[in-house]
Amino acid sequence: MRGPVKLEVWKMGFVNYLDALKLQEKLVSDRKLCRIPDTLLSLQHPPTYTLGKRRTDHNLLIPASELKSIGAELHYTQRGGDITFHGPHQAILYPIISLREIGLGARNYVEKLESTMIELSSLYGVKACAGQKGETGVWVGERKIGAIGVRISHGITSHGLAFNIDPDLKYFKHIVPCGITDKEVTSLRRETSTVLPTEEVIHEQLISCFARLFGYNTVVWKENPSLSSDHEEIE
Amino acid sequence: MALRMWASSTANALKISCASKPHLSFSRCFSTVLDGLKYAESHEWVKHEGSVATIGITDHAQDHLGEVVFVELPEPGGSVSKGKGFGAVESVKATSDVNSPISGEIVEVNSKLSEAPGMINSSPYEEGWMIKVKPSSSSELESLMSSKEYTEFCEEEDASH
């Protein structure tokens, strides 16, 4: 059994996708050098489509030039997974953690991310489960409620999970979500008859589920997290 | 074991969500380690034959990754540096960098992996090889772990969690 393990949580509100990406790159480098503890970014993005390393842009169903007219951006990334959409009312967690220290491989890590969203769903009486083989993510029946796309570099994670609280699902019509053609996308709002609390509460519950499933016994909240990390070096 | 499989299939039939899939957590003890190869702590192997070193990832690594669906490899003629990434594999929606245990010039890459990435899972030491390199430093090869040392390394890594 490992000793006390600390997780530092940054609650960031709305963050532009590229800004979040740059911050993650910096934090991954800091974590690799053990300058920071395991860190979790909790945030939302403005309407953004993203592609993974395989660049499956055939799964974007409208011309990239039209994206601006629907108020969305498109970004290519190094994460695993296919095309997806991020937007308001979707809770995103980007864990920047050392898998080697925690003793997890990619498969177990992703399973725990799935479990995080499954547990959160169950708080609202929604029976979600992990996908079948090859369909990583979290499903309520045939409808996808949570997506995962991860990058692991020298054992440090970046990117993470996106859980649909109540995003505008029409944005998903412009893509083949996660490259899976015949399945719908859903949200917590659609799947539960429970009255939802404020989103801030749901974000905190998601963070708690994550912390518990990953065995963190100390969770600290970073004061005033900003996009420029405290660990900037003078160049 | 049989009881666990029955419970799992019953749960599936009743569409009860399984928060954690029952995995063979003891399977890691049975990962294959081949004699005659050298190993890095980041779970890559090197087979040195004459002037060429072949590099891939170990059985332990492929087991922890899950089914590989995509492999990104460099071009021949490029170079690799010890400890630095030269490519990546994707499994379960996770891309994992693969690091080179040694430095040198890439002389060949396994192009079959673009059509059949699963060979990394089914044959990590043979058909799943990733790149062939002309090593630039013999001392780097010598500093890697032997099969015995790597086996102990894996056991310690797995036992400490």
Kindly report, residue by residue over A22-35, the tens digit of the pLDDT: 999 999 999 999 99
Does residue A99 have a pLDDT over 80?
A: yes
Mean pLDDT to the nearest integer, B60-67? 95
CB A220 within 8 A of CB A6: yes
Collapsing DSSP to helix, strand or coil, B115 comes out as: helix
Beta strands of B6-146 (E only): which ranges? 38-39, 44-49, 52-57, 68-72, 79-80, 85-91, 94-99, 104-109, 131-135
Choose among A81, A118, A152: nearest Cβ to B19: A118
* A178 given a catalytic annotation: yes
> Among candidates A98, A113, A80, A160, which has minimal Cα distance to B67?
A80
CB contact under 8 A, A151 and B19: no
- Among all residues of chain A, which has the CA nearest to that of B114? A54
Mean pLDDT to the nearest integer, A92-111? 95
- Share the mean pLDDT of chain A: 92
Note the pLDDT tens digit of each residue in B84-142.
999 999 999 999 999 999 999 999 999 999 999 999 999 999 999 999 999 999 899 99
Q: Closest approach of chain B CAs to the CA of A84, in angstroms?
A: 12
Q: What are the backbone angles phi and psi of residue A227, rounded to the nearest 5°?
A: -70, -25
Q: Rg (Cα) of chain A, in Å, rounded?
A: 17
Quickly state the pLDDT bin for A229 (edges 50, 70, 90): low
Look at the block and give the residue holding tokens 């970004």.
A75
What ipTM was assigned to the predicted interfaces of this complex? Answer: 0.89
Q: What are the backbone angles phi and psi of residue A190, rounded to the nearest 5°?
A: -70, -30
- Among all residues of chain A, which has the CA nearest to that of B25? A108
What is the structure's pLDDT at A3? 64
What is the structure's pLDDT at B1? 52
CA–CA separation, B76 and A67 (whole Å): 38
What is the structure's pLDDT at A234? 39
Mean pLDDT to the nearest integer, A36-52? 97
Q: Closest approach of chain B CAs to the CA of A118, in angstroms?
A: 7
Q: Closest approach of chain B CAs to the CA of A161, in angstroms?
A: 11
Percent of chain A with pLDDT over 90: 85
pTM: 0.88
CB contact under 8 A, B93 and A136: yes
Collapsing DSSP to helix, strand or coil, A173 comes out as: helix
What is the structure's pLDDT at B28? 45
Residues of A with Cβ-Cβ distance to B94 under 8 angstroms: 79-80, 106, 109-110, 149-152
Note the pLDDT tens digit of each residue in A200-221.
999 999 999 999 999 999 999 9
Quickly state the pLDDT bin for A134 (edges 50, 70, 90): confident
